Amino acid sequence: MTITQENASALALISPELSARLIEGVRENKWPELTDEQGERGVAQMVGFLVAGARSKARLAPSKRVDWFWHEFIKHTRSYSAFGDLVAGEYIHHEPHETPAPIHEKEEARERTVRAVADAGFTVDAEFWPDVATDCSQCYDGCSNSPNSGKK
């Protein structure tokens, strides 16, 4: 795996304490049998996804497992905001889709996303990308899922 200085900085923003909280949150809410080792890998996959999203012009979407870690990270607003500032230059919005995408679009999104994560210099861990993408995407270019945000 090639980890650039920027990737190392992004990974370093996830302190061991924050990583443990993210892992515990995923374990409590979505994946009870999650081991600490799997959790560390899950955090790294989430970081790779978010960095890839900040670098890509393509619409990317996480797997369900990566999305579970992303949801936990968003709850830690200060750390999440600082992370977005470093990797994207701004807050990274989580944009749920109102209508589920057809399976072929989800499959295309998964392939596009996995390729972008690898292109960003992160190893793609197959255990965290087994399924098609979820019905949400990263959005760092001024959109929000909040109708009161003033952004479109």
SS3 149: coil
Name residue 96's beta-bridge partners: 136
- Tokens representing 9 are 């900085």
pTM for the structure as a whole:
0.82
The number of CA neighbours under 13 Å toward the Cβ of 1 is 16
Q: Are 68 and 29 in contact (CB under 8 A)?
A: yes
Domain boundaries, the chain: 5-139
Q: What mean pLDDT do residues 44-65 have?
A: 93
Q: What mean pLDDT do residues 5-19 have?
A: 78
67-105: per-residue pLDDT in tens? Answer: 999 999 999 999 999 999 988 999 999 988 777 778 888
Q: Are 56 and 121 in contact (CB under 8 A)?
A: no
Residues 10, 60: Cα–Cα separation, whole Å? 18
Q: How confident is the model at residue 30, as a pLDDT?
A: 95
Q: Which residue has the higher pLDDT, 104 or 133?
A: 104
Residue 142 has pLDDT above 60, yes or no: no
Share of the chain above pLDDT 90, in %: 61
Q: What mean pLDDT do residues 15-20 have?
A: 95
Share of the chain above pLDDT 70, in %: 80
Residue 125 has pLDDT above 90, yes or no: yes
Q: What mean pLDDT do residues 97-116 have?
A: 87
Q: Which residue has the higher pLDDT, 63 or 99?
A: 63
